[in-house]
């Protein structure tokens, strides 16, 4: 008949350790055989992703700077180059911040502190993804202008009306995305629907993780 004594749990815990210890030699031999082949580092993909982002950002910064410097007399190309460079610098800044946050994580620090840092990193990452998306709804236009220019076609000179239309649609797209973000934060029905979307769920999960850690950390009366 099982009892409700907490000491029973401690007895079971000791017995379990004894049993696991007996099998430990075998387990460790297997670990040695496996080496790091199956090692999964939770942050490794993020570090790799941010490093690639940093490299890509640096390449775009150099290319766009070279582009606008060589087109100082053509205002539309100068603006397109500057805009793209600003986006690339934002790209680099976000990657550097991510890498710095990852570097700061020291697993030998107290658990609550580390878990909070990790949760903040994830929350920041998701917020940054939303802002990337917003900027991305406009940045394609300067990219298009630059690519066409490099291919020998000057959109602004040849089809200025098309550029205005594209610019207007880029801003409509930006406003639409911003509206979605605002709606997702609203308490109404639309807000609930959007909060249930993939990005909404990610934001909510990140926030919930932070709340959970803060709740655990809170001094209880």
Partner 1 sequence: MELVSTSDVCEYPVATMKPSEAAQFESLLQQHGGIIRKVAFGYARNESDRKDLMQDILLQLWKAYPRYSPDGPFSTWMYRIALNVPISYLRKHTRPGRETVQVDESQHDIAPEQSSPPEMEERLTMLRQVIGKCPPLDRALLLLYLDDRSYREIASVLGLTETNVATKLSRLKERLRRELTDYANN
Residue 198, interface with partner 1 (CB under 8 A)? no
CB 39, min distance to partner 1, A = 6
Residue 21, interface with partner 1 (CB under 8 A)? yes
Segment 108 to 147, residues that bind partner 1, using CB under 8 A: 108-115, 118-119, 122
Q: Which region, judged by CB under 8 A, interacts with partner 1, from 129-137, 177-185, 189-197, 208-216?
A: 208-216
For tokens 């940054």, what's the residue? 128
Report the C-alpha gap between 126 and 4 in whole angstroms: 45
Q: Where are the beta strands (DSSP E) in the chain?
A: none
Q: Which region, judged by CB under 8 A, interacts with partner 1, from 13-21, 66-74, 86-94, 146-154?
A: 13-21
Which two structure tokens, joined as six digits, stand for 199? Answer: 């990005």
Closer residue to partner 1, CB minimum distance, 44 or 153: 44
Report the C-alpha gap between 51 and 94 in whole angstroms: 11
The answer to whether the CB of 171 falls within 8 A of the CB of 138 is yes
Closer residue to partner 1, CB minimum distance, 109 or 168: 109
Tell me the DSSP string of 203-216. Answer: HHHHHHHHHHHHHH
Residue 23, interface with partner 1 (CB under 8 A)? yes
């Amino acid at each position: 008949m099982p009892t409700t004594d907490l000491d029973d749990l401690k007895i079971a815990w000791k017995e379990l350790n004894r049993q696991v210890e007996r099998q430990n030699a075998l387990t460790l031999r297997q670990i040695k055989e496996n080496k790091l082949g199956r090692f999964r580092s939770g942050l490794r993909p993020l570090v790799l992703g941010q490093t690639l982002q940093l490299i890509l950002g640096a390449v775009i910064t150099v290319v766009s700077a070279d582009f606008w410097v060589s087109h100082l007399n053509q205002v539309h190309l100068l603006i397109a180059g500057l805009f793209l460079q600003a986006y690339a610098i934002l790209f680099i800044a976000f990657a550097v911040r991510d890498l710095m946050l990852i570097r700061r994580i020291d697993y030998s620090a107290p658990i609550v502190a580390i878990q909070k840092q990790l949760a903040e990193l994830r929350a920041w990452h998701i917020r940054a993804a939303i802002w990337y998306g917003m900027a991305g709804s406009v940045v394609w236009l300067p990219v298009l202008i630059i690519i066409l220019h490099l291919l020998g076609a000057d959109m602004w000179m040849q089809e200025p009306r098309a550029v205005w239309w594209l610019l207007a649609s880029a801003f409509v797209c930006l406003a639409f995305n911003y509206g979605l973000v605002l709606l997702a934060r609203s308490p109404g029905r639309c807000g609930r629907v959007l909060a249930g979307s993939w990005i909404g769920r990610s934001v909510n999960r990140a926030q919930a993780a932070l709340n959970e850690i803060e709740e655990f950390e809170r001094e209880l009366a």
